[in-house]
Amino acid sequence: MLSLHEYEETYLALGVCVEANVPVILWGPPGQGKTSVIRALAAKSKRHLEIILASIREPQDFAGLPSIVNGKMTLVAPDWAQRLAETDSGILFTDEVNTAPPSVQAALLRVCLDKVAGDCDLGSDTGVIAAANPPEQAADGWDLAPPLANRFCHLDWSLPVEVVRMGLSGQWPTYDFSKPDPGKLQQDLASERAVVSGFITSRPDLVTALPDSSAEQGRAFPTPRSWESAALLSAFVTAANLSEGVRRLLLKGSIGVAASAEYITYRNNLDLPNPEQVLANPDDFTLPTRADQIYVLGAGILNVLSRDATVPRWHAAGTVLEKIVEGGHPDMAVSFARQWLKIRPGNEIPNSAVLRALVPLLTEAKLI
Amino acid sequence: MATVDHEKSSAARLRIMAARILAQARWPYVSTLLYSLKLVESDPAEISTMAVDTGWRLYYSPDFVMSETPEALATVLLHECLHCMLEHGRRFEALSTEDKDHSVWNYAGDCAINQILDDAHMPWTVVTPVRYKNIEHQGVDKTMPTEAAYAVMIEFRRQNPEEPKARDCGSVSGGQNRGYELEPEDPNSPSTSINQKDNILDSVASAVIAAQNNGDDIPDGIARIARDRLEPTVNWKKLLAFNVRSAISNVAGRRDYTYARPSRRQSSINSGGANFIFPAMRQPQPPCVGIVLDTSGSINDETLDIYLSEIRGIFSAVGVSSGLWVLPCDSKVHEIAKIKSFDLTKVRIQGGGGTNMAVGVAEALKIRPRVNIIVVLTDGATPWPTKKPVGSILYLAVLTTKTYEQYVPSWMTPVVIEE
């Protein structure tokens, strides 16, 4: 069950997917107001909406009905496809995709990927939204085949008690954000792509990582395609000035939990100074404000120092420790200092400012 | 709330920082979380020991801090870190239960945390931590998730209103903000935002997994928290159900459309002058399934019964309710029975000595009409058939012990089940 705050973020994440035209799938038990929310989103952005129940459809409803005309076979598209093709940026919402038989799911694949139904081109501006009941909740549920699963951003959907309470009193909550400026979005997308390239260069094993367990393969996992949509969605969040929580949901939904957690950590530590540069010019550097960032930086500095512990570099690290003490984290400095003292070159004496900060704490902790 | 005793105040601060150094040395992977806790001295009249709020600010009573050794305080600090790592606040909120019961939830959470700390042999001195043995009489045992323990405790308290109130660890473990807490935007110690907390918890989990891959000794409880966060393990029932479903679709196909055969409606449609081509529906006979059950005694009856009923449930959910055969097998196969009339207690008497699932598989192949799927349920300590028997039959090896997974032949799909 989502909390009210998580519901708000999921709602916004759905909105981002719709705006950014990234196919999105909502996972949740029946009766959670998924259809009403999508109706509201479509109405808000004045887009034409087609709602289809995949489980009661046949493959020809998505792949087109084969028909022979003058000895040639054409795939005749159903009316909903023709309506979507005629309107600009319509939205196709297919409900209960995972209770549809495999051949229907296979037919859906091309609709979601290429926005083509039979011989009818829906237009690349068409948005695709799907909804599914988790297989363990649907009586004859199928898991999504990995190729179909990988095309979607996966969001878990359920209604918190508070939302139902508000809804019953006549006011279903809606959440809105202002559309980002297209120019800014392009800029943010370029920089987000650069970050993604940097990340996958350092973690090539995460470019494509099919989950071990077959059941997880029906959800989000990293592939070059899902990295692409992850970059777009994350750039959208930056451009639209949305919360980090929305970014987390979207990244998790596109590339899976493990890859997104690592990517977010990498992304957050990008603006930290380079440890080598800090050791070269310890006086010029300013301490990050957050304790966890200071820790990451300190650990990085000790790590590069341990590989090449010359006298000036060792003293430079000492200056950093002093700054950590001054920044109000003497205990963290002591934790680092214990490692720092172990890699002391020769019999160098730490400068007095560092010692002044360290001695009382080490004594109190009975470490000296 | 500021105390006039500056000397005591700075002594307490020094001690709690010393404790943090010791705590960091014990569990280096929690460093980013540990150092993110902002230290706030509080009035001993409001806080008798220590508490953390939802913004990860740590409130402490200087009297309490000075009464404890840095070693024991380090344990208390790690206790508070575990409240953060286990996300007790968010989980309490998700329960949508009555706010006044947060102290009961805190009690249940404390027991789970102190179990992890006890397993890691963390020292305590003045404070006696609450443990599962304190709530055993209420019907709680340590295998329960905290949510389940909470439900049991609430029910117990409803029937025994005289049960004493539990202590509180602050809003980090759930409930409304406490009176002593600072404003979220306090200039000296602003609260940590939800996203920042998530990022820190992610980095802690990554650090734990990195340390574990590095061969460091990680307490089980900590490793589990990290795995749950980064590599959520799929529930075995889900995994088993997935494999059964895909096995069934592979062997027999289920209700689906095919263009390989003409639709039955085709002739009537075409006679009307239209020239559309419709797919046919096909729904073959449901498959027959042989379940080879390891009754050699290495899995206890109760467990075996649970797994068996789970398997039966999964098959009936996908529409296979007949044609399910059970083959109790140790070193040889005993009486084969239909799953509906199968009685485990009768089988056990026959069992005894030796395990050979290869025999069970060979026997399952003799069943007529032929089986399409063979499920072997065993702990895994068994010889397997040396080569794949002839025929397009799907094999699932359901193992209760992960260690033996490597011995399963490549043509069988292994599913490891763990409780």
DSSP string, B340-367: GG--HHHHHHH--S---HHHHHHHHTT-
How far is residue A257's CA from residue A234's CA, in Å, rounded to a whole number? 15
- Quick check: A296 and B17 CB within 8 A? no
pLDDT band at A285 (very low <50, low <70, confident <90, very high): confident
pLDDT one-digit tens code per residue, A109-168: 788 878 888 888 888 889 999 998 876 665 556 667 788 888 899 999 988 888 888 888
Widest distance between CA atoms in chain B: 101
Confidence tier at B60 by pLDDT (50, 70, 90): very high
B positions 348-407 inside 8 Å of A (CB): none
CB B374 within 8 A of CB B290: yes
> Do A295 and B35 count as a contact with CB atoms less than 8 A apart?
yes
**Local confidence band at B271 (pLDDT 50, 70, 90 cut-offs):** low
| Mutation for testing the B interface, residue in A292, A366, A368 having most B CBs under 10 Å | A292
**Closest in B195, B237, B318 to A244, CB measured:** B195
Q: Does the distance separating the beta carbons of A338 and B25 come in below 8 Å?
A: yes
Q: How far apart are the first and last CA of chain B?
A: 49
Q: Which residues of chain A neighbour B250 with C-beta distances below 8 Å?
A: none
Q: Is B264 on the interface with A (CB under 8 A)?
A: no
Q: Rounded CA gap, A207 and A199, in Å?
A: 9
Residues of B in contact with A60 (CB under 8 A): 278-279
Which residue in the set A67, A329, A366 is minimally distant from B276, CB to CB?
A67
pLDDT in tens, B343-352: 766 665 555 5
Span A50-62, mean pLDDT?
Answer: 87
Of A15-19, A160-164, B335-339, the poorest mean pLDDT is in: B335-339
pLDDT for the residue B233: 64
Residues of B in contact with A73 (CB under 8 A): 277
> Residues, chain A, total?
368
- Chain A residue with CA closest to B28: the answer is A335
Report pTM. Answer: 0.78
Exposure string of A179-209, with b = 16+ CB inside 10 Å and e = fewer, is ebeeeebeebbeebbebbeebbeeeeebeee
**Cβ contacts (< 8 Å) between B90 and chain A: which residues?**
3
Q: Which residue has the higher pLDDT, B127 or A303?
A: A303
pLDDT band at B284 (very low <50, low <70, confident <90, very high): low
Alpha carbon distance B199, A262 (integer Å): 9
Which of A248, A329, A362 is the closest to B198 by Cβ? A248
Residue in B36, B94, B242 closest to A3 by CB: B94
- What does the block give as tokens for B136? 């055993």
ipTM: 0.76
Q: Residue range B157-172: average pLDDT?
A: 81
- From the number of C-beta atoms within 10 Å of its C-beta (0-12, 13-18, 19+), residue B86 rates as buried
Task: State residue B348's pLDDT score.
Answer: 58
Residue A179's identity, in one-letter code, is K
Burial (CB count <10 Å: 0-12, 13-18, 19+), residue B285: exposed
Sheet holding B373-378, edge to edge: B337-338, B324-329, B289-294, B373-378, B394-399, B412-416
Q: A–B: how many Cβ contacts below 8 A?
A: 156
Query: What type of residue is B334?
Result: H
Is the Cβ of B256 closer than 8 Å to some Cβ of chain A? yes
Return the beta strands (E) in B137-188 as ranges.
Answer: none
DSSP B162: T
> Residue B268 above 80 pLDDT?
no
Q: How far apart are CA A200 and CA A260, in angstroms?
A: 12
The pLDDT mean for chain B works out to 83
Map residue B292 onto helix, strand or coil.
strand
Q: Which of A218, A257, A361 sits opposite B17 (nearest CB)?
A: A361
**Which residue on chain B is closest to A295 by alpha carbon?**
B32
Min CA distance, B105 vs chain A (Å)? 17
CB contact under 8 A, A213 and B317: no
Task: Evaluate whether B52 touches B58 at the Cβ level (below 8 Å).
Answer: yes
Cβ-defined contact of A68 to B203 (cutoff 8 Å): no
**Range with lowest mean pLDDT among A90-104, A225-239, B26-40, B42-56:** A90-104
Enumerate residues 214 to 253 of chain B having a beta carbon within 8 A of any beta carbon in chain A: 229-234, 237-239, 241-243, 245-246, 249
Contact A182, A240 (CB under 8 A): no
DSSP string covering A5-16, please?
Answer: HHHHHHHHHHHH
Per cent of chain B over pLDDT 70 is 89
B33 and A265 within 8 Å at the Cβ level: the answer is no
In chain B, the residue whose alpha carbon lies closest to the alpha carbon of A139 is B317
Name the closest residue on chain B to residue A324, using Cα atoms: B35
Interface of B with A in 145-184 (CB under 8 A): none
Chain A CA closest to residue B414: A213
- Burial of A96-131, coded b for 16+ CB within 10 Å and e otherwise, reads bbbbbbbbbbbbbeebbeebbbbebebeeebbbbbb
Chain A contact set for B35 (CB, 8 A): 291-292, 294-295, 329, 331-332
Give the three-state DSSP class for A67: strand
Rounded average pLDDT over A27-34: 85
In chain B, which residues have their Cβ closer than 8 Å to the Cβ of A213? 233-234, 239
Does A94 or A106 have the greater pLDDT score?
Answer: A94
User: Do the chains contact at B96 and A161, CB–CB below 8 Å?
Assistant: yes
Shortest CA gap B107–chain A (Å): 22
| B256 to A103: CB separation less than 8 angstroms, yes or no | yes
Task: Give CA B290 to chain center in angstroms.
Answer: 30
> Shortest CB distance from A335 goes to which of B21, B229, B231?
B21
Nearest neighbour of B275 by CB, restricted to A67, A136, A143: A67
pLDDT, residue A148, reads: 80
Asked if B196 lies within 8 A of A364 by C-beta distance, the reply is no
Distance CA A192, CA A197 (A): 9
Say what the pLDDT of residue B3 is. 47
The encoded tokens of residue A9 equal 């973020």
Pick from A216, A243, A258: CB nearest B230: A258
pLDDT at B386 over 60: yes
B276 part of contact set with chain A, CB < 8 Å: yes
Q: Which residue of B has its CA nearest to A56?
A: B256
In the predicted model, what is the mean pLDDT of residues B240-264? 69
Minimum Cα–Cα distance from B318: chain A residue = A140
Share of chain A above pLDDT 90, in %: 36
What pLDDT score was predicted for residue B168?
Answer: 81
How high is the pLDDT of residue B272? Answer: 54
Q: How far is B415 from A276, CA to CA, in rounded Å? A: 47
CB contact set of B156 (below 8 Å; sequence gap of 6+): B138, B139, B163
Q: Which of residues 283-322 of B touch A (CB under 8 A)?
A: 317-319
| Closest listed residue to residue B30, CA positions, set B231, B234, B216 | B216
pLDDT recorded at residue B326: 87
Q: Considering only A195-209, A215-229, A295-309, B344-358, which range has the smallest mean pLDDT? A: B344-358
The per-residue pLDDT for B4 is 60
Mutate to test the interface with A, among B203, B225, B321, B416 (most CBs of A within 10 A): B203
C-beta atoms surrounding B123 within 10 Å: 11
pLDDT class of B253 with cuts at 50, 70, 90: very low
Out of A12-26, A287-301, B125-139, least confident range: B125-139
Q: pLDDT digit string (tens) for B87-116? A: 998 888 888 788 888 889 999 999 999 999
